[in-house]
Amino acid sequence: MEVIVLPTSADVARRAADVVLAGLPAASGTGPHDAERHDPVLGLATGSSPLGLYAELARAVEAGRLDLTRARGFALDEYVGLPAGHPESYREVLLREVCRPLRLAPDRLFVPDGSGTTERELASAAVEYERGIAAAGGVDVQILGIGANGHLGFNEPGSSLASRTRVKRLSDRTRRDNARFFGGDVDAVPTHCVTQGLGTVLDARRLVLVASGQGKAAAVAAAVEGPLSASCPGSVIQWHAEAFVVLDEAAAARLRNRDYYDASAAGLSESPTP
């Protein structure tokens, strides 16, 4: 796990975009996971945290450094029960924040289907979603935020570390936190979602978690330095072989091992000559 702490959220967005770009299969086939060439597959988080990162990726598209015309994007999660086209459904959010600015065709965006009205319908859509990810060859880079309660995707505290895409109930804390997207009305926030499981997230070849602001400091400390535990679903990143955690100063404020992260981020350049 690499923990990178930078002064501002704008710095976080820039560096995280570089880490995402470096994890995607390069057109020339020289990316880190290019033993078998395939079209890029991006795992997409919603919420506030990745917006700056998406804006940076859009700049890379404009500059010709990133081409997502053959890519696929898989959302982390979707609310259950919002009407099709609701502006806060994650499909609509991703069409707005990712597909248009990054020139990813809407038919290459995949979002868990939260339109089912029975547990059975939702469960079979979740299984289909897992099949879709597998058929695309798996996710190259999964972009992640973290909830103030440590949730990852909508895997709330108590979620199995091996879980797959399924229906979950949102915690009261998450519904309160997300009420800001629904005009401040907690009751308008759906009670359930379909979310990739923690096991699904762990299957991605690279994880890039971004967090900014002091409201995330406790969750970040628990995820990065706490025990690997279902009580903090974000801690599952410790189990991944290629996880990057990119933070601003405020989000990093409760990390105890900060000196080590900063020294590691400096690379070999500051090591004494043997």
Residues in touch with ligand F6R (CB under 6 A) = 45-49, 76-77, 145-147, 151-154
Paired sense of beta strands 109-110 and 72-75, if any: parallel
Query: In this complex, which beta carbon is closest to ligand F6R, that of residue 25 or of residue 42?
Result: 42
- CB nearer to ligand F6R: give 14 or 38: 14
Residue 61 C-beta: closest distance to ligand F6R, Å: 21
- Residue 115 or residue 171: which is nearer to ligand F6R going by CB? 171
Residue 73: enclosing H or E segment and its boundaries?
strand 72-75
How far is it, in rounded angstroms, from Cα 64 to Cα 127? Answer: 36
Least distance from ligand F6R to the Cβ atom of residue 147, Å? 4
Q: Which of residues 23 and 145 has its CB atom nearest to ligand F6R in the complex?
A: 145
Contact assessment for residue 125 and residue 116, using Cβ atoms and an 8 Å cutoff = yes
What is the nearest approach in angstroms of ligand F6R to the Cβ of residue 152?
6
Please state the closest distance from residue 180 (CB atom) to ligand F6R, in A: 8
The closest of 172, 158, 254 to 215, measured between CA atoms, is 254
As a whole number of angstroms, the distance between CA 55 and CA 14 comes to 9
| C-alpha closest to that of 17 among 108, 110, 102 | 102
Nearest approach, Cβ of 84 to ligand F6R (angstroms)?
A: 19
Q: Are 72 and 42 within 8 A, CB to CB?
A: yes
Stretch (H or E) spanning 221: helix 217-225
Between 25 and 94, name the residue whose CB sits nearer to ligand F6R.
94
User: What minimum distance in Å lies between the beta carbon of 235 and ligand F6R?
Assistant: 14
With beta carbons less than 8 A apart as the criterion, state whether 143 and 53 touch. Answer: yes
Residue type, 152: L
Nearer to ligand F6R, 25 or 177 (CB): 177
